[in-house]
């Protein structure tokens, strides 16, 4: 494989290891401050472990405000999630029960290395510059989104 082809192959593989996720502004701030080290989801892709997770903070912020690394994704009973990660999830017991109402199992997404952007990417720029909309939940980014993936990269 020629060096240019090898680089494109590596770029595409690396790009698949980044995702954009929507998180309520309050929780997004807690993640980036390091106080919330576990994101809770009813469903989440196990293959996201090792990915860079770009955080889109919902209204009133409406911008990509930083990123973290997904260390692991654990599928557990909701009781086990609460037992193991309740404190690290920075959520009240009442909100936890409300979020997981009607399901027995869920995902604990373990996070590290939070970085808050000095220049957030507002929703308007997400649309006009990167051709993206805010995700309902999350989606994996691809090589075409390299500029966004590398925004304020360490």
Q: pLDDT for 108-122, tens place per residue?
A: 999 999 999 999 999
Task: Return the bridge partners of 116, or none.
Answer: 66
* Residue at 92 is within a domain: yes
* Residue at 27 is within a domain: yes
- As a whole number of angstroms, the distance between CA 19 and CA 130 comes to 14
* Residue at 147 is within a domain: no
Question: Tell me, what's the pLDDT at 10?
Answer: 38
CATH number of residue 67's parent domain: 2.30.130.30
Question: Tell me, what's the pLDDT at 80?
Answer: 98
Q: How many helices (H) and strands (E) does the chain have?
A: 6, 6
Question: Tell me, what's the pLDDT at 111?
Answer: 98
In the chain, the number of structural domains is 1
Residue 11 — very low, low, confident or very high, per pLDDT cuts 50/70/90? very low
* Residue at 42 is within a domain: yes
**Type and span of the H or E element at 14:** helix 3-15
| Segments forming the whole domain that contains residue 100 | 18-122+135-141
What integer is the mean pLDDT of 129-146? 92
Asked whether the predicted pLDDT for residue 20 surpasses 80, the reply is yes
Average predicted confidence (pLDDT) for the chain:
90
Span 41-82, pLDDT tens digits:
999 999 999 999 999 999 999 999 999 999 999 999 999 999
* Residue at 49 is within a domain: yes
Report CA torsion sign: 103, 70, 120, 138.
negative
């Amino acid at each position: 494989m020629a060096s240019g082809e090898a680089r494109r192959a590596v770029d595409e593989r690396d790009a698949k290891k980044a995702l954009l996720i929507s998180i309520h502004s309050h929780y997004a701030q807690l993640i980036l401050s390091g106080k919330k080290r576990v994101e809770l989801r009813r469903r989440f892709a196990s293959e996201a472990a090792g990915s860079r997770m770009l955080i889109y903070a919902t209204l009133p912020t409406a911008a990509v405000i930083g990123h973290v690394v997904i260390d692991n994704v654990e599928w557990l009973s909701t009781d086990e999630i609460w037992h193991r990660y309740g404190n690290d999830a920075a959520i009240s017991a009442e909100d936890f029960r409300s979020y997981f109402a009607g399901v027995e199992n869920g995902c604990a997404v373990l996070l590290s290395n939070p970085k808050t952007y000095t220049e957030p990417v507002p929703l308007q720029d997400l649309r006009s510059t990167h051709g993206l909309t805010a995700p309902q939940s999350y989606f994996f980014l691809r090589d075409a989104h390299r500029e966004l993936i590398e925004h304020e990269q360490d």
